[in-house]
Amino acid sequence: MMNTHAAYRSALAVFVSLVGSMILATTAMASDWRVTRVSQPAYYAADSKSWKPLQAGTVIPAKSWINTGATGRVLLQRDADTVVIQPNTKTGLAGARDGSRRISVQHRAGSILLDINRGKSSRVRVRTHQLTAVVKGTRFTVTANRGRSSVAVERGLVQVRDNRSGQVANVGAGRSVSSTGKGGLSGSGAGGSSSSAVPSSSGNGNSSALA
């Protein structure tokens, strides 16, 4: 009889362990980014050195870098959230390990368009050399070129901070700010340093199209 009880407890323990593993796997899948469309050349690497070609269906590992060539574009999707990586771009994308929908991006060069569904756990932080953008639920583009970074907002509100001066601007839809990392934030077309954003001439819905 005792052997029967021991076997039952052992089987129950195995079952509970399997259920727990399935729940963890489901949670991880929910927080993964998957490539839904891609134009070559486009590569990814977990160490920013061992680059592998991106293909439709590729699941991006945590803390991976993505690099596109002159004709490369990548559309990443996670449920209703999307990230479009434009040509000649290098960016690092990492999701939270706690199952939340927080996103951390280290953006080095080129342009990315993020469309993030508004939600309690959806939070995005994009950092370039010159500025940091923090949002919850919005559509915006971050561009990093030699010596300058900019944020253009299409929907929602983005808080942008100059990494050197600490100056902060709340950038609304149809507006943009930029930074050279020397004199704080400025609006495109505005003279001097200002914390106010001005209408953007670059944001439009066509920027999400992939070749």
Mean of the per-residue pLDDT values of the chain: 78
d(CA 143, CA 111): 4
pLDDT of residue 53: 96
The string of DSSP codes covering 87-148 is SS-EEEEEE-TTSS--EEEEEEEEEEEEEE---TT--EEEE-SSEEEEESSEEEEEEEETTE
* Nearest residue to 44 via CA among 54, 34, 35: 54
d(CA 53, CA 114): 22
d(CA 185, CA 159): 12
- Which pair of structure tokens corresponds to residue 57? 């269906």
d(CA 126, CA 106): 6
Tell if the pTM clears 0.75, that is, is over it: no
- Which pair of structure tokens corresponds to residue 64? 């991976």
Q: How does pLDDT run across 114-157, given as a tens digit for each residue? A: 998 876 556 789 999 999 999 877 899 999 998 999 999 999 99
Q: Is residue 177 a contact partner of residue 186, using CB atoms and an 8 Å limit? A: yes
pLDDT of residue 46: 87
Where residue 63 falls among pLDDT bands split at 50, 70, 90? confident
- Comparison of pLDDT for 191 and 11, the residue scoring more: 11
